[in-house]
Amino acid sequence: KAGVTQTPRYLIKTRGQQVTLSCSPISGHRSVSWYQQTPGQGLQFLFEYFSETQRNKGNFPGRFSGRQFSNSRSEMNVSTLELGDSALYLCASREGLQAYEQYFGPGTRLTVT
């Protein structure tokens, strides 16, 4: 099976802009989670989607949002970008909410200038 794919792999945006990142899970996986990775804070959970519904949410401002489509693909959106949003955004999929193993994508490197 193909692994988790994320597009784009790299992005450069300006403060105040918005950005949309995309994640395609492993075929058959219905749960998609998003994480933000920074040198200072490490890996932090953003949110998880299952069957097009947000099931869990981390401690991030409302500027961070996401959605999941009927084919389980997911997007996350960050509005009004700030310099501190520069990070590697990782997507992970698993078969369902009770599946313990998460499979990670390669990440999208977002740089905000």
Partner 1 sequence: AQRVTQPEKLLSVFKGAPVELKCNYSYSGSPELFWYVQYSRQRLQLLLRHISRESIKGFTADLNKGETSFHLKKPFAQEEDSAMYYCALSNSGYALNFGKGTSLLVTP
Binding site for partner 1 (CB under 8 A): 3-4, 33, 35, 41-45, 48, 56, 58, 90, 92, 97-106
Least CB distance to partner 1 at residue 102 (A): 6
Q: Which is nearer to partner 1, 81 or 90 (CB)?
A: 90
Q: Which is nearer to partner 1, 32 or 112 (CB)?
A: 32
d(CA 47, CA 32): 8
Q: How does strand 108-112 pair with strand 5-7?
A: unpaired
Least CB distance to partner 1 at residue 17 (A): 27
Residue 54 tokens read as 């947000």
Amino acid, res. 46? L
Secondary structure (3-state) at 37 = strand
50 in Cβ contact with 74 (< 8 Å): no
Secondary structure (3-state) at 84 = helix
Q: Which is nearer to partner 1, 16 or 52 (CB)?
A: 52
Least CB distance to partner 1 at residue 80 (A): 25
Q: Which is nearer to partner 1, 72 or 93 (CB)?
A: 93
Least CB distance to partner 1 at residue 92 (A): 8
73 in Cβ contact with 25 (< 8 Å): yes
